[in-house]
Structure 1
Amino acid sequence: MRELSLDRLRTLVAIADLGSFAAAARALNLAPPTVSLHVAELEARIGAPLLLRTRGQVGPSAIGEALIERARRLLADADEALDDVQRQVQGRTGRVRLGASTGAIAHLLPQALQVLGAEHPGIDVQVAVLTSQETLARLAGGTLDIGLVALPQPAAPGLRVLPWRRDPVMAFVPAAWPAPRRATAAWLAARPLILNDTSTRLARLTAEWFAAAGEQPKARIQLNYNDAIKSLVAAGYGATLLPHEASAPLPDPRIAMLPLRPALWRPLGIAHRSGTPELATRQVLDVLGRFRQA
């Protein structure tokens, strides 16, 4: 026996606690010869007696006491590890790795995480700020469990992408600007713009919207952080196009929010690997599903 078996150590501790081989056998639901074999294997592995028999009682030798002290800690650690894993199997605890863009993280995801924290406080969601392409690649590679991605996405083997939300894209302009009730591509193109950089799906979506009207405006500055973009709009630096979720708070009073003509929508999907997810991942998917909007 090259390794120390936890079963053998548990038997040794039971004998020390109960004072006899027979009592340990009953407590562990083992046959008496099995208990004797466990002790013999441990003593052979250690190379010294672990138990002493005196006046009908069995007690540990000095070496046995040292091993029993360590064995108690090992057994407690093993039991704790099994309890932790069992809680994960039951979905009460666990770690879920989620990828999302800055747009989803700004408002939608914090709401979902608040609900999740109230209902499943033992689930730890680790969030990575990624583009949709990066999210799908990491899902396929097994380093993410869930992704919030822009739609549409091409079919990918081993992944499921389901529609999640469809939020309107709005024009955010300095409130001091004279503005129409609805912003057109021509009106916006004639003004300084703050837009997402070309690596994002939103940038491509807005570029297509401008192109459909024959416009190809150049941004005054490109950023990927919506809060920073809105701060620049509030300062009068330019206008922008961003999604607006129905439950999101109204913008800074220095910002006017205008619907677009024609309307533009930002669709998002939830992606995860095919098959049955682990229960902790399913709990997160369930909470995100409550924020679904057609």
Structure 2
Amino acid sequence: MRNLNLDQLQTLIAIADLGTFAAAAQALHLAPPTVSLHIKELESRMQAALLIRGRRHAELTLAGDALVSEGRKLLAASDDLIDLVQRRAMGLEGLVKVGVSAGVSTRLLPLMLEALTQRSPGVEVKLEAVGSAEAMQRLRAATLDIAIVASPQPAVANIRLIPWRNDPMVVLLPSSWDAPELVTPEWLAGRRWASFAPATQMHGLIAAWFGQAGFNPRPFLTLSYPGALKSLAAASQSAAILPLEEVKDQRNAADVQIRHLSPQLMRPMAVAHRYLQAPNLAVDSVLQVLAEFAS
């Protein structure tokens, strides 16, 4: 029995993404007859129709949709395996996949990567923006090695959680606003403010800060990226509640002002990683660097 051909699988996925045989042929630099042959042989191997061929568009059958969904994982695993072999051949330590939630400071990330490069130049980090809950599940599924997540998190089998940082939250305001030294929920609830997207734990943290004071205001806008929230304040569009670490570079900016919150709001975070049966020097190197930036 022949094994699944990954080139044929890649062709099917390209058709699913691009909609036509012709577009897939162009993207994969294949002749159109080769694309047709790939699908014919793949359907023969699967003993199932995978595509419904229309005049202008090709659609997946239920069997084709299942193969594409799981096939993406196979191609990703194949890429990872090739990368691992090539790195070992060059004497490099390895690739570490790190999930990063929306609340992690974009100022800290470059500093941590620079420290890792100095400590372990053979280790490469692949950062993936992913919510905390999803990151925990991906750690369990072994598609991430490490994750920086909001804390607390429900316990997940074979995943270790290490307290990492507990940073104060502040509000970044347009410089033109007449703001008190300490911003309260009551003061901010009556003004335009932006927050993290509802799917993030940061959103829930901020909502609880308002709620404990008896307020439930709707944000002017919700976004997933701290940099976008900062730009709103700089453009005098709204206030933005962010970790202090994220806005330290704005302290002397002429277009914004930073105010602390009253009552104080803290953002706890943790480092999560899988328990490994065998030592992994690359993962250990990343964990050591993260520990240096703990607070």
The TM-score bracket by the shorter chain reads 0.5 to 0.7
- 1:1-294 matches, within 5 Å, as 84=88, 87=91, 93-104=93-104, 106-245=106-245, 248-251=248-251, 252-275=253-276, 277-293=279-295
Partner Cα distance (2:200, 2:149) in 1: 11
Contact 2:233–2:239 under 8 Å retained in 1: yes
Scaled by the length of structure 2, the TM-score of the pair is 0.67
Residues 244-253 or 204-213, more deviating: 244-253
Alpha-carbon separation, structure 2, partners of 1:253 and 1:121: 38
2:31 aligns with none
Q: 1:248 to 1:181 in 2, by over 3 A?
A: closer
* Distance in 2, Cα, partners of 1:228 & 1:133: 23
Secondary structure, in 3 states, of the residue corresponding to 1:263? coil
**1:250 deviation in Å?**
2.9
List runs of 5+ in structure 2 lacking aligned partners: 1-84
Once the two structures are TM-superposed, the CA of residue 101 in structure 1 deviates from its matched residue by: 1.7
Aligned partner letter, 2:260: P
Q: Following superposition, which runs of at least 4 residues in structure 1 exceed 6 angstroms of deviation?
A: none
Q: In 2, distance between residues paired with 1:247 and 1:182?
A: 16
Compute the RMSD of aligned alpha carbons.
Answer: 2.0
Q: Distance in 1 between matches of 2:89 and 2:142?
A: 20
Counterpart position of 2:73: none
Write the deviation string for residues 208-255 of structure 1: whole angstroms up to 9, x where unpaired. 000000011111111111111111111111111111128942353211
The change in CA–CA distance for 1:233 and 1:106 in structure 2 (over 3 A counts) is same
Instruction: Normalising by structure 1, report the TM-score.
Output: 0.67
| Residues 1:250 and 1:149: Cα distance change in structure 2 (over 3 Å) | same
- Whether the aligned pair in 1 keeps the contact of 2:149 and 2:270 (CA below 8 Å) is yes
The AA in structure 1 aligned to 2:215 is E
Greater C-alpha Rg:
1
Aligned length: 209
**How far off is 1:105 after superposition?**
5.3
Deviation at 1:85, TM superposition (A): 6.4
Residue ranges of structure 1 left out of the alignment (5+ in a row) = 1-80
Cα distance 1:163–1:85, how it changes in 2: closer, same or farther (>3 A)? farther
Shift of 1:104: 1.5
The match for 1:33 is none
Structure-2 change in CA distance of 1:161 and 1:111 (3 Å): same
Cα distance in structure 2, aligned partners of 1:195 and 1:152: 20
> Quick one: which amino acid aligns to residue 153 of structure 1?
Q
1:82, distance to aligned residue in structure 2 (A): 10
Post-superposition Cα deviations, 1:47-68, rounded to whole Å, max 9, x if no partner, equal xxxxxxxxxxxxxxxxxxxxxx
